[in-house]
Each structure stands twice: as structure tokens, then as C-alpha cells.
Amino acid sequence: MDKDFKSGFVAIIGRPNVGKSTLLNQILGQKIVITTDKAQTTRKRIKGILTTEEGQIVFVDTPGIHRPLNKLGDYLLEEAKFAVPDADLILFMVDGSEPAGRGDRWIAENILNSEAPILIILNKMDLVKNPLKVEENLLTYKLLFEKNIQTLKISAKTGRNKDNLVENIMKRLPEGEMLYPEDIVTEETMRSIAQETVREKILINTMDEIPHSVAVLVEKYEEKDTIDRIYATIYCEQTSQKGMLIGKGGSMLKRIGMDARQELERIVEKKVYLELNVKVEKDWRKKNKSLKAFGYENIQ
């Protein structure tokens, strides 16, 4: 291996909905993290691994940071915090189409007070037509820090400036051995990917009161040469939500199942049989036992 080979961990930190997961999928050239326009889409730290001739970048995508309202919120905040101390570089991702807000200031003061170098990534440049406005917004983010922080403008949605970003990250990483085999893109298991895919389709297809109150658990995953059989349960907090998730004559559950199955077939490149059930687990977001059962347990 080249003695100048670089490797390291890069944490992506920011408020909900600034495009962290979209950026990671764009850089990797494939979808490993679910994305929707709803806050709290990402609930766990997810590693995405980019390997080139120059080096290997292990990206750590994190949940959007906001003030916790329940035990699930506490878990999401801890997931983001855990990614910071081990990072060789932090990408502080912000919405460049608007100036810094209270949420950005809180992150700068409470999360990004580590020794790791920081790069401010101004996303959503495809939404801004006035260059002067961009510079005004940029200044508000730079002023959140006492030291001078370098910045980069991108569009995660279109991929604009993606290669320049990867180049900048590589420059800042230490020399080191490959951390993962070069053909590995993520640590996520197919069981975990199936759960997240079903949850994504729920977020996209249902109304605002449903998304944050659902958890998905794959009870059984059978892998065969020609077909994968997946049996999953969707948990919600109220009986009324269960009715909405099932829909009239089962129509909503069928739509969620069909969308998820088609996406999973693209991922595994074979047939998928997906069976979904809906159960009520009252106030699960406030209960440690339920959070643990659904895999929301902070592990450093």
C-alpha cells in the first residue's frame, strides 16, 4: 500500500434536515441511508465507507441535533455526541440558504467544542440565486466560532462540489492503514437496512403525526438464493395511528409494503417477499425497555 495512504473518521454533524444523509449517499454513489424531507429521519449513527487510491474515509452520519423532548430524543442527541470525540475531522453541515439560527449556535457551543478540526459545509446552494446572500449567510456561521473555520459550498441534492469536498477531506486526514476491506461500503446488516427502508416508506407515505411515533422491527429475515423473505412489525403509540398505518381496506399498509419491497429488491438484486404487521406499543419513545427492544441503545 502507498505510504502516503490516508485514513480516518469523519463525523457529519448538523441540525435536522440540513441534508447529511443525502450528502453521504451522494458521495458513496449509492443509497445506504434513508432520506426524507421530515426531521429525525436518521435515528442512528451510520457508517459509510469511501475507498479510493488516495485513502479511505469512514463517514459517520448522525441524527439531526435538536433539544430532546423524550427518551428517544435523548438517545438521538447521544448518538450525535458519541461521533465527535473519535473523529479526525468534523463536517458541520448547515443550510446555506438561510443564516445561522439558535440551533446552529447551540451545536457550535455544546457539541463542537472538541479538538478535532472542523469544516463548515454550506449545503442547499442549488436554492440560492443571490451570491451576496450566500456570503452574508456564510459569515453568520463563521461567527459562531472564535477560531477561523474553513468553509465549502455544496449541493448534496445535485452533487455540486462533491469531488472538491472529498479532496478537501483527504488532505486533512492522517496517514494510516485501511480500516475496512476496500469492497465494504457500510457496516449495516440487511436486517437493519430492511427496517430502515420500511420506516422511510412510512415517513414518505403518512401524515405528520405518524412518522416520529413509529419503530420497525424485523422479526425474521430468511435469505435464499432466489428470494429473501422478510417479516417485520411496525410499532406505533396509539390505536388511531394503527388505523392510519393500515388504511382503508389495508390500502396504506399495502402501499408502504410495495414501496419498501421494490426498493429492497433493487438493493439485494433478487425477489423479496415482505410481510408487515402493525402493533401498538403505548408511549414507547418514553420507555427505556421499548427503546432497547427496538435497537435504540447508545453503544460507544
- pLDDT tens per residue, range 120-139: 999 999 988 898 999 999 99
Q: Which long-range contacts (CB under 8 A, 24 or more apart) does 140-149 make?
A: 140/99, 140/100, 141/92, 141/94, 141/99, 141/100, 141/104, 143/100, 144/100, 144/104, 144/105, 144/108, 144/109, 145/108, 145/112, 145/118, 149/92, 149/118, 149/119, 149/120
Output the pLDDT for position 212.
80
pLDDT at 1 over 60: no
Kindly report the number of other CB atoms within 10 A of residue 205's CB atom.
17
Three-class SS state of 285: helix
- Mean pLDDT over 207-220 rounds to 86
Nine cell digits for residue 33? 441511508
- Alpha-carbon distance of 289 to 102, in angstroms, equals 33
- Alpha-carbon distance of 245 to 251, in angstroms, equals 9
pLDDT at 209 over 80: no
Residues β-bridged to residue 280 = 236
Lowest mean pLDDT among 42-46, 87-91, 295-299: 295-299
Residue 275 has phi, psi (to 5 degrees) of: -115, 125
Q: Which strands make up the sheet holding 89-95, listed edge to edge?
A: 46-51, 55-61, 6-13, 89-95, 118-123, 150-153
Q: Are 93 and 108 in contact (CB under 8 A)?
A: no
**Residue 93 is inside which H or E element, if any?**
strand 89-95
CA distances for 86 relative to 9, 151, 170, angstroms: 7, 21, 17
CATH code for the structural domain at 190-293: 3.30.300.20
Residues β-bridged to residue 13 = 92
CATH code for the structural domain at 6-172: 3.40.50.300
User: Which percentage of the chain shows pLDDT scores above 90?
Assistant: 69
Tell which residue, 155, 174, 157, 175, has the closest CA to residue 165.
Answer: 155
Residue ranges of the chain assigned to CATH 3.30.300.20? 190-293
Q: What's the mean pLDDT when you consider all of the chain?
A: 91
- Mean pLDDT over 258-276 rounds to 96
Output the pLDDT for position 45.
84
- Alpha-carbon distance of 101 to 18, in angstroms, equals 12
Output the pLDDT for position 108.
92
Output the pLDDT for position 2.
60
Bin 173: left if φ > 0, else alpha if -120 < ψ < 50, else beta: beta
Q: What is the pLDDT of residues 216-236, one digit of tens each?
A: 999 999 999 999 999 999 999
Q: What is the pLDDT of residues 55-109, one digit of tens each?
A: 999 999 988 887 777 888 888 888 888 888 889 999 999 999 999 999 999 999 8
Output the pLDDT for position 252.
95
Q: What is the pLDDT of residues 142-194, one digit of tens each?
A: 999 988 899 999 999 999 999 999 999 999 999 999 999 999 999 888 999 99
